[in-house]
Structure 1
Amino acid sequence: MTDDMSTETVVEAIWHQLLEHHPEARRGGSPGAIEAAAAEPRLRQMFPFLSHGCLTFHRNTEYPWSNDLPFIACTTPYTVYAIGYAKLLGETETPQEAAALVIAHLPNDCCPAIEGPWPEPSSNTE
């Protein structure tokens, strides 16, 4: 990490790269969806990840991902799905509506992303 980015968290740095179309940022998704999600404080604290035309959000910054939050498929109309395409939460005409739909379905305990991999579930087999 460079000195000018040293005060920036990993999450903040990735959002900046996506918004500024930085050459090292992942490609795909929709610039409109990225901007709409970045404008929402609850989503801006999550780790954004672009893959297969979708903008996903995670509670951590390194693989393995939390994979437990709704996401936006950047199609027309925008579609919002629950975890792993388990359920279609809705279709929207604008990226702002899609971001709002994701927020409406975030778990109550959703807080800023942690740096590092998602913790393995404890294996208490008593």
Structure 2
Amino acid sequence: MNSNPTGAAGRGPLERKSVPCDPAAVRARGPAEAVEAQWRRLSVSWGWMRRRHEVDWPGMPYPRTVELLEAAAAEPALRQLFPFTSHWNLHFSSCTQFPYVVRVPFVEPLRDGRFRIRERGTGTEFDEVDSAAEAVAVVLAHAPADLGPAVAGNASDLGEFEVWEPGPLGASDPGGGPTYVDDGGGAGGGSGRR
């Protein structure tokens, strides 16, 4: 394995992608540490992917996920939640393990450099904005008043919410409440649960 990959046509070296820490060991230190480690992991991982993109495809736009992560991490109400990404989108969970509980909208970085803010489950679009800071403000405007720090465990462990099983493709949950996200471990796609 090449420890110092180069981009297309041998363009410039790229630092080695760092190896993430053991998630189970981090979770054992408590939910606050798990949340902080996840923010760091996403920042490093998305930063590396952006740099890799710049090496491989110079001049080609890259979604503003890194900028979005920085803006969200600077906001205490979101920084206390467990962040995760799926299909370039940034989500925030109220628990530290999969399947997640999502109580706030997610942000989709668009190809044109803007950001779309949507509700998980229904797909309701709240707004489309120009900056990461504006996107974070929209998420916060739609956050519940009782939003607190992420807790240890997963949606099933919390036991206070009814699990919604998705119907046919495109069907959505008619009710409100938190969304259970079953995306196959962060790879995207999954069934999406409430």
Q: Which amino acid letter does the alignment assign opposite residue 121 of structure 1? A: E
TM-score, with length taken from structure 2: 0.54
Residue segments in structure 1 that go unaligned for 5+ positions in a row: none
What 5-or-longer segments of structure 2 have no aligned partner? Answer: 1-21, 48-62, 163-194
Shift >6 Å, 4+ stretches:
none
Match of 2:41 among 17, 25, 32: 17
Q: Deviations 1:73-94 (Å, cap 9, x if unpaired)? A: 1113200011224310101101
Bigger radius of gyration among the two: 2
Identity rate, percent: 33
Q: 1:93 to 1:31 in 2, by over 3 A?
A: same
- Deviation (angstroms), 1:69: 1.9
Range 114-123 or range 102-111, more displaced? 114-123
**Given the alignment of the two structures, is residue 81 of structure 1 paired with residue 105 of structure 2, yes or no?**
no
Cα deviation, 1:49-82, whole Å, max 9, x if unaligned, reads 0111100001001112113321101113200011
Q: CA RMSD in A?
A: 2.6
Kindly indicate whether residue 71 of structure 2 is the aligned counterpart of residue 36 of structure 1: yes
Number of the residue aligned with 2:82: 47
Could you say what secondary structure the match of 1:112 adopts? coil
Q: Residue type matched to 2:40 in 1?
A: H
Matched, 1:93 2:130: yes
Q: TM-score, with normalisation over the residues of structure 1?
A: 0.80
Which structure ranks higher in relative contact order (CA pairs < 8 Å, sequence separation ≥ 6)?
A: 1
The structure whose residues are more often strand, as a share, is 1
Aligned length: 117
